[in-house]
Structure 1
Amino acid sequence: MREALESWHFGKVLYAYRTHPHHERAISQGVVANWLGLTQAQLSRIENGAAPQDLGKLMSWAHSLKIPASLLWFQLRGSHRPLAAPATPREEGDHQKPEQPAQIQGSALLPVVVNGQTVLVPVDASALATSGLGSLSALPADSDATSTNREAMSPLHRRTLLSGIAAAALPGLGLEELQRVASALEDSRRYQGGPVIDYFRSQLDDAKRDDGALGPKKTLPVVLGLLGAIEQHARGVKPKARRELLSVGADGAEFAGWLYRDIHQPGQAGFWYDRAMEWAQEADDPAMQGYVLLKKSQMAYDERDALRVLTLAQAARHTRWRLPARAQAEVTQQEALGLAMTGEPLDAVRQKLDEAHSLLTNVPGDDPNPLGAYFTEDTLMLRNAVTYTEAGKPSMAVELFGEAISSGALSRRDTGFFNARRAAAIALCGEPDEAAQLGRQSAEVAHTMKSERTLRVLSEVLHTLDRWNGRPAVRDFREALRVSCRAPAKLLITLSGAG
């Protein structure tokens, strides 16, 4: 293990861990991949390919395997490094250069106390500077900071700050977001009046309402704080109270999975969907278990995995889950999407869409069940439009998108997302200027709401418009994605290739 750690190659660390004699027999790649929120194929590439460089992923994997911080090679300048750097040739004059702090892709590492132990959490380097904490990156762990810096850091150094929150959820959050996690957890701990379960449920409902207006980056930290507090409160209580708490926790974990999907972190989304399933099973909440299967089917659509879209939706329809009527309608519509993606006849797809509509119209107007409460006639219309696009009928999709969006019932974030879907359908209809103009409007919303999911759809639109590259509207659309939306590196590669 020490040799693997000294290689600075996390794939070698994972291989050494899996095959270590301590386990008596080697742990399969599939098992370890599940722990890390990966597929077996992804883990195989990590073990056999180039050394991973994404700091957020490195921290997530290190937390999952509970590797002591003192053994890791990614630390702050001034921290003690027990492991030597791998032997690599130095160019002439390199010995004159001071050692740089451990940073990858504009991130720095911030020490956070978890269960009495200090771990390093990646935060955005610019956030450190603008928050007056830039000097901390040059301080050893035992140095005395100024009183101002100690005060600013205090929420992140409380002894039990993040115990109960899965460490895998932390990578990728900036300093401001981490402080929101701390604040939410502290607020939950101080709460004394009224039934605590009602408190958690109301806080989660507030976060869901805020999501459409504020976006995932501002909503996610609050949800993570609540989940950490729920898990803490669920310890040491009577079984009935624990099941009630975990039922709320499963709802929150499913919501966290959705938020991670929106910022396109499928590994983290999968982690929280798995946690939601585990808590729902322990809470004996069959409806939530079926609902999580539906959400996994929807995430499979994000990844363009048509077969999993269909089979997961079919699994979610099983009567054992006892889904309420509104959720049944959503599951049935998702099955229609799977059928369209796998090339089934249009008549079979329409039959499922009609069935979903029938289920939805039979839901009582005063239905108290919150599961899938957002799935309304407008939502069904939007999902049907996506399905018709997948079935090769983009002109039908354009009409449905326009009708649903014009109702004004969607949040700003969802309006931007479905306008991107509408632009994709319009592009497939051979209307490049209209698609590009609508794409630009959607890109502005995606930038404001930090919706990576919307940006990914817009990159697909740009690919469809590739043969119209010379048109001014298409050039403007590409530039809007490249500059105005400050698209992430992977998307910028796509944009460059499209030109």
Structure 2
Amino acid sequence: MHEALASWHMGQVFYAYRSHPWHGRVLSQELMASWLELNQAQLSRIESGKAPQDLGKLMRWAHSLRIPPDLLWFKLPVVGRATATAVVAARPLPEEPAPNPEPPLAGGVLPVVVNGRTVLVLLDAEAIATSGLGSLVGHSADASAQATERDPMSPLNRRSFLRNGVAAVALPGLGLDELQHVASALDDSHRYFDGPVVDYFRRVLDKAKRDDGALGPKKTLPVMLGLLGAVESQARDVKPEVRRELLAVGADGAEFAGWLYRDIHQPQAAVFWYDRAMEWAQEADNAAMQGYVLLKKSQMAYDERDALRMLTLAQAAGHDRWQLPARVRAEVTQQEALGRAMLGDPLDVVRGQLAEAETLLANAPEDAPDGLGASFTSPTRVLRDAITLTEAGKPGLAADLFSDVLTTGALSRRDTGFFNARRAAALALSGEPDEAAKVGKASAAVAHEVKSERTVRVLGEVLQTLDCWRSRPAVREFRESLTA
């Protein structure tokens, strides 16, 4: 049931519920449909089709099956209001340790009293150790464990973030004075929310971005949704000069949330957060972020194979009005080349734009490694060149470029899995089924581990390309690994 709920697909939840061994038998679709005010055909379509998106129906079905609200990926109506503000941190699940992981986000709950009101702050173990707060946490560590043992994809119920508090990570080195300052800001935003607290939010966002490559989207999203809930709720009460600064962080975080939802193939949620990023960037007067969001929407259009929209969005992102840094202009130029390749433009035109992107990136300053477009590095450029060459009908050249970068081991685990999927696609198109299947199988293992639906979709396309070789042992093993 936990796996079905983590899929965010109510049809899969219905199937898992019907077939659960607790019943002693598999419940019929007719019986369950009667509970849900559906007929058997409707229930069958829900189980086998796309994930339902109608929030009213999802809420009604969840209520009918009495699914605990904290396991859902959407908000149920809440009666009453909590008396305390909780600052909650999600942590990686223990059964999936990341290579060289950062300290786990767990430890204990520290009650901080601000103006007679208790604010519960969840600290990670290292923060407790380095701040000398161990004696103050005490038995509250049990509450911490309970708060973080749930499937981390249930930030889902954003009510605890938007109405009553914030989710943020207590970073290592957080001292008692800073802790008190943050707690005071959460309790009285207008009086205490200032630049240092905004900087604290920025640090939470930066850590989430670092975690993503190793942990995957389903373990990074809880922190991000909580942080964005904090931005949304606190921005209403802060001073005007702080609001813009806070919304600039919010725009950056919303763009990142859009990317995370792309990775788990939730396009509607991704569009929501990209639109929110644009809105907040406009209010914060951040022109570069507005152009950057257009670029990300163009990349999302590629996920959907909408070549014309992808090209026009990339061209819009490249407008001078956005004042993009050189690194982002390089990424935009390469994205335009990809669009032209998909639309069948001459290869020399596509190569010309790829060369222009390479020059722009080579001349980009290195003094802002954590700034906008920081993820677009030289290895990333080469990998995306390979994707463009695949679309331009040169999969053999593309496969060699993928191999050149992937064999260095410089990418995160999630990115290695994704670009290996793209490499498998190029190998399949080049007529190398056994090698494509071998690379695809390795990619599938990573995709399942980090829950990257985007990678799984690419691998599904690879299987279709390999269909004419489906009887080969390597291809059969690849298919089995992908569907396991």
Aligned pair in 2 of structure 1 residues 337, 181: CA closer, same or farther (>3 Å)? Answer: farther
Distance in 2, matches of 1:115 and 1:314, equals: 49
Distance in 1, matches of 2:344 and 2:73, equals: 47
Task: Specify the SS of the correspondent of 1:347.
Answer: helix
Structure 1 equivalent of residue 409 of structure 2:
408
Distance in 2, matches of 1:173 and 1:468, equals: 40
- Map 1:85-104 to 2 at 5 A: 101=66
- Map 1:270-281 to 2 at 5 A: 270-281=271-282
TM-score, reference length from structure 1: 0.65
CA drift of 1:173 comes to 7.0
Aligned pair in 2 of structure 1 residues 261, 396: CA closer, same or farther (>3 Å)? Answer: same
Distance in 2, matches of 1:389 and 1:115, equals: 56
Question: Given that residues 329 and 360 in structure 2 are in contact (C-alpha distance below 8 angstroms), is that contact kept between their aligned partners in structure 1?
Answer: yes
CA drift of 1:405 comes to 1.1
CA drift of 1:180 comes to 12
Task: Specify the SS of the correspondent of 1:76.
Answer: helix
Distance in 2, matches of 1:383 and 1:467, equals: 27
Distance in 2, matches of 1:107 and 1:370, equals: 35
CA drift of 1:50 comes to 7.1
Quick check: 1:185 aligned with 2:150?
Answer: no
Quick check: 1:76 aligned with 2:63?
Answer: yes
Question: Given that residues 184 and 222 in structure 1 are in contact (C-alpha distance below 8 angstroms), is that contact kept between their aligned partners in structure 2?
Answer: no
CA drift of 1:414 comes to 0.1
Distance in 2, matches of 1:211 and 1:108, equals: 20
Aligned pair in 2 of structure 1 residues 215, 181: CA closer, same or farther (>3 Å)? Answer: farther
Quick check: 1:113 aligned with 2:78?
Answer: yes
Alignment size in residue pairs? 358
Q: Which runs of 5+ in 2 are unaligned?
A: 1-40, 83-92, 94-141, 171-181, 186-191
Structure 2 equivalent of residue 45 of structure 1:
none
CA drift of 1:76 comes to 2.5
Structure 1 equivalent of residue 393 of structure 2:
392
Aligned pair in 2 of structure 1 residues 412, 186: CA closer, same or farther (>3 Å)? Answer: closer
Distance in 1, matches of 2:240 and 2:228, equals: 18
Structure 1 equivalent of residue 384 of structure 2:
383
Q: Deviations over 1:430-456 (max 9, x none)?
A: 000000011000000000000000000
Question: Given that residues 301 and 309 in structure 1 are in contact (C-alpha distance below 8 angstroms), is that contact kept between their aligned partners in structure 2?
Answer: yes
Structure 2 equivalent of residue 221 of structure 1:
222
Quick check: 1:348 aligned with 2:312?
Answer: no
Task: Specify the SS of the correspondent of 1:343.
Answer: coil
Structure 2 equivalent of residue 201 of structure 1:
202
Structure 2 equivalent of residue 457 of structure 1:
458
Opposite residue 200 of structure 1, the aligned amino acid is: F
Distance in 1, matches of 2:447 and 2:370, equals: 31
Task: Specify the SS of the correspondent of 2:373.
Answer: coil
Quick check: 1:444 aligned with 2:467?
Answer: no
Question: Given that residues 314 and 332 in structure 2 are in contact (C-alpha distance below 8 angstroms), is that contact kept between their aligned partners in structure 1?
Answer: yes
Opposite residue 395 of structure 2, the aligned amino acid is: P
Structure 2 equivalent of residue 133 of structure 1:
none
Question: Given that residues 158 and 226 in structure 2 are in contact (C-alpha distance below 8 angstroms), is that contact kept between their aligned partners in structure 1?
Answer: no
Quick check: 1:468 aligned with 2:469?
Answer: yes
Opposite residue 277 of structure 1, the aligned amino acid is: M
Question: Given that residues 181 and 224 in structure 1 are in contact (C-alpha distance below 8 angstroms), is that contact kept between their aligned partners in structure 2?
Answer: no
CA drift of 1:187 comes to 6.2
Question: Given that residues 341 and 388 in structure 2 are in contact (C-alpha distance below 8 angstroms), is that contact kept between their aligned partners in structure 1?
Answer: yes
Task: Specify the SS of the correspondent of 2:431.
Answer: coil
Distance in 2, matches of 1:220 and 1:114, equals: 26
Structure 1 equivalent of residue 330 of structure 2:
329
Opposite residue 225 of structure 1, the aligned amino acid is: G
Structure 1 equivalent of residue 306 of structure 2:
305
Distance in 2, matches of 1:381 and 1:114, equals: 53
Runs of 4+ in 1 over 4 A off after TM superposition: 49-60, 100-103, 106-112, 114-117, 150-156, 172-184, 186-189, 191-194
Q: Taking every aligned residue pair, what percent have the same amino acid on both sides?
A: 61
Q: Deviations over 1:140-179 (max 9, x none)?
A: xxxxxxxxxx9799969xxxxxxxxxxxxxxx97448769
